[in-house]
Structure 1
Amino acid sequence: MTELKIQHILTLSYLLSKGAKHNYVSITTSSLGKNIKKSQQAASKHLLELEQNQFIERIINGRNISVKITSKGFSEMVKLSAILKKSLESLPSFVELKGTLVSGMGEGAYYMGLSGYTKQFKSKIGYVPFPGTLNVRLDQKIYQEAIKQFDTLDGVKIESFSDGMRTYGWVKCFQAKLNNSINCKLIILERTHHDDSIIELISKVCIRKSGKLKEGSKISIKIPIPS
């Protein structure tokens, strides 16, 4: 039995969108090529190969081409859809990061203790965090790249504010769990002195003490993806 080739999936998808499951639809190779972002010659080849493998039926009348997807072609697309659906539904619902605990410059305690932040923390995440942040260095590139997606995800946002002398940037909070035991929040800052390899965590408790952590401790963090 001939299996559907990857390069033909877009062509069949386009034909399905035009109603070719039940009807012969009129197309041109130029319009097909434009819609699947291939050349006219490639589109023509796709149609020929699909017909030869009995995934479509064609009726050619001069320059007019009418195409209908066969039951075999539709069945293959249904199988593909089922595989994709299963794969998408089995996606991990969290991001896992690994790194090393490093000491910061002590600024976290100052900033997280500002009333403009603490009032919002209390109302939006339900508590005022323990003074300071836990700094984790993401040692591997894969984790440094993975963290970037949180820049565009919606977390609990602590709005920026001004004390009359300077403006303090916003903070986005994401639920997280450290070493499978300590509930905490990953925070994404509008302004930071750290490079992309350093992430910061806050919690209701002193994470270092609760987790019996010290400089150089290996850290694992799981962050559920917001729905």
Structure 2
Amino acid sequence: MYTTKSLKKLALLGAIGKPLKISSTEFMHHISASSKTAARVLKQLEDDGYISRQLVAGGQLVHLTETGVLLLKNEYADYQQIFCKDYADLQLYGEVITGLGEGQYYIAKDGYMSQFRDKLDFKPFPGTLNVRLNDESAQIRDNMDFMEPLIIQGFNDGERSFGGGKCYPIEIEGIKSAIIIPDRTHYPADLLEIIAPLKLREALKLNDGDEVKIVVKNPQKCK
């Protein structure tokens, strides 16, 4: 009964970014319950793995775990489906870095290229621009999980199998492009691979370390 409500209150009080010091007496006012119930709720949240808790003088230090944050994100996504038709675009910032050079080989495959043309309405340049997001944008990037991606199917070219992935339409410095995320990737979440109808490094005169602005185009925006 109290799980989601209590996690939301703890998050609003700041227990996601850093440990929050709070007593059961203080917490009871936030969930409209008795002090005894508030203490029991915090203990249950800890037992269920939604929070970590350390008892200290005057209360406890509470911090939402990844499991707790995921529960709230799923709840948030549910409400978006109920109340929202259009979500806001995401604005991300990061710096250009040198990738591993694998993009050209994979993107040029007919099995991928035909899908990119059909689903993105452009023929990608055979290569990717790699961008590492700054810390703030890396957190905002998690909101892409609530967006509907364009699915790229895997295929077999007769010699080997190639895995699928998903694309998110974007604009990078005003140029229509897309983020490509393979189903099987060794890249961390804060590193983006971007495809475009032209070579972005040359078109935007980019060097390693240059900052770029990426706008993730969400087809839905909240009312």
Give TM-score scaled by structure 2 length.
Answer: 0.57
8 Å CA contact 2:87, 2:219 repeated in 1:
no
- Aligned-residue RMSD, C-alpha: 3.0
Aligned to 2:115: 120
Q: 1:201 aligns with which of 194, 197, 215?
A: 194
Which residue identity does 2:217 align to in structure 1? P
Alpha-carbon distance in structure 1 between the residues aligned to 2:163 and 2:203 = 29
Q: Which residues of structure 2 form unaligned runs of 5+?
A: 6-30, 38-82
* 1:148 lines up with 2:142 in the alignment: yes
Consecutive unaligned residues of structure 1, counting only runs of 5 or more, are 1-9, 11-35, 43-87
Q: Which residue of 2 aligns with 1:71?
A: none
Which structure has the greater CA radius of gyration? 1
Q: Which moved more, 1:164-173 or 1:123-132?
A: 164-173
- Contact 2:120-2:169 at 8 Å conserved across structures: no
Take 1:37 and 1:116, find their aligned partners in 2: how far apart are those partners? Answer: 57
Runs of 4+ in structure 1 off by over 4 angstroms are 36-39
Q: 2:183 aligns with which of 177, 185, 190?
A: 190
Residue in 1 that maps onto 2:156: 162
Counterpart amino acid of residue 107 in structure 1: E
Check conservation: 1:173, 1:185, Cα contact below 8 A: yes
* Structure 2 residue matching 1:148: 3-state secondary structure: helix
In structure 2, how many angstroms separate the alpha carbons of the residues matched to 1:110 and 1:37?
59
Deviation per residue, 1:86-115 (Å, 9 max, x gap) = xx99x9711111110001111001110111
Instruction: Call closer, same or farther: CA 1:188–1:151 in 2, change over 3 Å.
Output: farther
Aligned length: 147
What letter corresponds to residue 102 of structure 1 in structure 2? I
Matched residue SS, 2:208: coil
1:213 aligns with 2:173: no
Residue 226 in 1 paired to residue 216 in 2? Answer: no
Partner of 2:95: 100
The separation in 1 between residues aligned to 2:110 and 2:129, in whole angstroms, is: 20
Question: Which string of whole-angstrom CA distances, capped at 9 and with x for unpartnered residues, describes residues 12-35 of structure 1?
Answer: xxxxxxxxxxxxxxxxxxxxxxxx
Given that 1:100 and 1:139 are in contact with CA atoms closer than 8 Å, whether structure 2 keeps it comes out as yes
Q: CA deviation at 1:38?
A: 4.8
Matched letter for residue 123 of structure 2? V
In structure 2, the partner of 1:56 is none
Aligned-partner SS, 1:186: strand
Is contact 2:92-2:215 (8 Å) kept? yes
Distance 1:209 1:163, change over 3 A: same
Match for 2:187: what amino acid?
A: H
| Larger relative contact order, structure 1 or 2 (CA cutoff 8 Å, min sep 6) | 2
* 1:14 corresponding residue in structure 2: none
Q: d(CA) in 1 for partners of 2:218 and 2:87?
A: 9
- CA-to-aligned-CA distance 1:173-224 (integer Å, 9 cap, x gap): 2221112x22211222212221122101111111111111111111111112
Q: How does 1:42-57 map to 2 (within 5 A)?
A: none
**Deviations 1:136-158 (Å, cap 9, x if unpaired)?**
01131x32222233245212221
Change (3 A) 1:224 1:125: closer
SS in 1 for 2:99: coil
| SS of corresponding position for 2:209 | coil
User: Taking every aligned residue pair, what percent have the same amino acid on both sides?
Assistant: 33
